[in-house]
Structure 1
């Protein structure tokens, strides 16, 4: 195994040398180098992991590939180790230093069943706070091989999150646990300019969690970084849309007594002054029917016809590109009847939305903060809803992050489109992690 400790920061080296406990957690700010240290510690442990399986656990196999395998296979980060890491996106197993490694996405309903039968010698857990509590605790119960270890990393969440409440706050009575807190300045590979830009992007709750690395309660506006100012903020004129590489999806939030809203998501084909690709995501257009304001409640058949008329329009300015068609229509998972109507009458197959609310909010917040998601002035419902979208103070008192379910229909439609197609747009868009 090559000697790579000289290329890492003092905090990374400290955590690697001290990580001898059964469960070791790297937590703190985004881009703070905690995951790089976690991966290196995992790689150092692979050759000695015996009498049990080696596992990497994360929210999805796609997120594991992005957060773990892409850096692990980068020779600039891991030198001579990188060529000995073999993984194909979506595959159930990888080969690392000659060992078979099981790759498990924890949002899979069968994840706990897969874990239940295992004897585990070594596990890496990516982003602990966004995987189900049951899957994590099941994995803890499978650390039954001699000297088995779990290495996990995460950004902060609510102080009432089960990881903080049940484990990190009780380290003094958990002798088999160790944890290290990382800040942005612990990453010696980032320039002062990059760090300043990251600090400038975030405000409020997200600044305290993502930049300061604090476990703080959610309160106030959820998207306090959203700037509706035309041209200088997150909103642009529809006529000013750049060329689109692809229309990824339409996210659809279905309502009977509430409004039905749809948001069209595209990824641009923009380039900087040197000709380098600089793609961004855009909410290009919006469909909205509010039966209360229209004084007309539509049947599924009527709503389907109206939605299809909108969907079949050309949603791009004539100056930007040829006509493009959205790859997916992503539907509110509770709207089965409307999905049947679209399929049987109009031949449109829908994809059930990923409805992980908190993960979707977090992803939207990061995209908006880093100006990697812009909204055209045609998306009036989204622009109206975003500034008033707030955390539920009653849930906060119970230690939970939960939004108030009021005036969120275009926001939900947009969240469905973003979260469900993440494995597509992440090929183009990079966010702090």
Structure 2
């Protein structure tokens, strides 16, 4: 096997920097998903651990340490340790602190100290230590203070930091303070990956990803690996001629289908409350069947609306609700309405809905609409925050809550009636706060 069989040209570029350039202090590999970043970074990681051991030997340090960082223990295990185990056949023996050692012949064993970058608490694992290097996975998701502390811990001569990431907004600190900072040009090297750089991917897979990824920001980040913010309409692939159907068309399309009905709820009072009913057919299509939107209504009104929906679509129909008004969810539940906490990761939820729109797997039934069309053509990106502008978004949020939560539940094998289990999983993943009375 030759190096061309194992590594793409972009990966070989990274390895050449690793093996032949000893002057850098920080390497940032960023870009598209499935572009081959993590695969080559795991090789770089092992080279860097050996480099750390060589430094330790030259300094006569018997017990060198190296930082392995990621958003969570799960992300480190999935993205790095499992992949290294599969690629190299290595096994790791963890101590009570979740650390382990890697040893190369003739060199001192290097203790790999894991730390988690998703919150400021990650400082605890590394504060006070001296590290001979670091590998940071998913760096754009890291808490900035933790990222900078990791770099400061790598204070031994010759210590280096390697990190990889998918792109974020162009104003993200990792891009502005490091990738684009000319003051660090001699110490920092960066490599930009696109999906097309991963030439070992199945061409049909790549073509499928390009054809189904929503236009605009999602495509630019996921396929092209660019640091961009959203511009213009959030759902720019929405086409009335393809994503809007009549009630008669809906009835005809679903005549032989078994439909799964569910709801999304975005609470308001002076601003609109929106309650939507959606249906999934057996072929992966989602239909927005009904929309109930209005303001200046007490919760009793929305209980009545939900009760009517139960009569029309089934008593156990789930209502995936905005957690901003937990007391309203409690009121629904007190009235025997199957109200559940919604999955609220904004960009991921939008990407799911936008993907359905682009693939023409989302259709709105025009007779059931009130504000949907008005909103979908005014729902725009805030190019500074990277999230949608908080205007014209009530129906948009309700639809997102419904579609994204149902998919999240399916992926995590949750029951629509499993309130406590769902709440715990959402809260554990930082997507909602635990309600005061949960425990």
TM (normalized to structure 1)? Answer: 0.68
Q: Distance in 2 between matches of 1:142 and 1:421?
A: 43
* Aligned 1:65-214 pairs, distance under 5 A: 68=79, 72=83, 75=86, 78=87, 80-81=88-89, 84=91, 102=114, 104=116, 106=118, 111-118=119-126, 119=129, 124-143=135-154, 149-170=160-181, 172-173=183-184, 175-201=186-212, 202-214=214-226
Match of 2:396 in 1: 411
Q: Does 1:290 align with 2:294?
A: yes
Corresponding position of 2:36: 33
Instruction: Verify the 8 A CA contact 1:26 1:152 in the aligned structure 2.
Output: yes
Residue 374 of structure 1 corresponds to 362
Secondary structure in structure 2 of the residue aligned to 1:307: helix
What are the ranges of 5 or more consecutive residues in structure 2 without an aligned counterpart? Answer: 54-62, 104-110, 414-439
Deviation readout 1:372-430 (Å, 9 max, x if unpaired): 963453774555533432124xxx3xx442422222112212333455677545579xx
Contact 2:178 2:184 in 1 (8 A): no
For residues 220 and 39 of structure 2, what CA distance do their matches in structure 1 show?
22
Provide closer, same or farther for how the CA distance between residues 148 and 384 of structure 1 changes in structure 2, counting only shifts above 3 A: farther
CA separation of 1:194 and 1:349: change in aligned 2, threshold 3 A = closer
Distance 1:255 1:101 in 2: 47
CA distance in 1, matches of 2:251, 2:147: 44
How many angstroms apart in 1 are the aligned matches of 2:398 and 2:47? 43
Shift of 1:15: 0.9
Relative to 1, partners in 2 of residues 1:335 and 1:25: Cα closer, same or farther, differing over 3 Å?
same
Q: 1:342 aligns with which of 332, 336, 353?
A: 332
Aligned-partner Cα distance in 2 for 1:22–1:238: 63
Moved more, 375-384 or 34-43: 375-384
Partner Cα distance (2:277, 2:81) in 1: 29
Corresponding residue of 1:259: 272
**Inter-CA distance 162–299: structure 2 relative to 1 (3 Å threshold):** same
Q: Is the 8 A contact 1:244 1:266 kept in 2?
A: no
Which residue of 2 is the match for residue 237 of structure 1? 250
CA RMSD of aligned residues (A): 4.6
Residues 147-183 of structure 1 deviation map (CA, whole Å, 9 limit, x = unaligned): 6554332333332222211111015525443210112
CA displacement, residues 245-287 of structure 1 (integer Å, 9 cap, x when unaligned):
987x7542111122222456787765xxxxxxxxx47466555
The DSSP-based 3-state class of the residue aligned with 2:200 is: coil
**Structure 1 residues 260 and 138 mapped into 2: Cα distance closer, same or farther (>3 Å)?**
farther
Please state how far the C-alpha of 1:22 moved relative to its aligned partner: 4.1
Aligned length: 381
Structure 1's unaligned 5+ residue stretches are 271-279, 292-296, 316-322, 429-433
Q: TM-score, normalised by structure 2?
A: 0.67
Change (3 A) 1:372 1:228: closer
Instruction: State the match for 1:386 in structure 2.
Output: 376
Q: CA deviation at 1:232?
A: 10
SS of equivalent residue, structure 2 residue 196: helix
Query: Would you say the 8 A contact 1:266–1:283 is kept in 2?
Result: yes
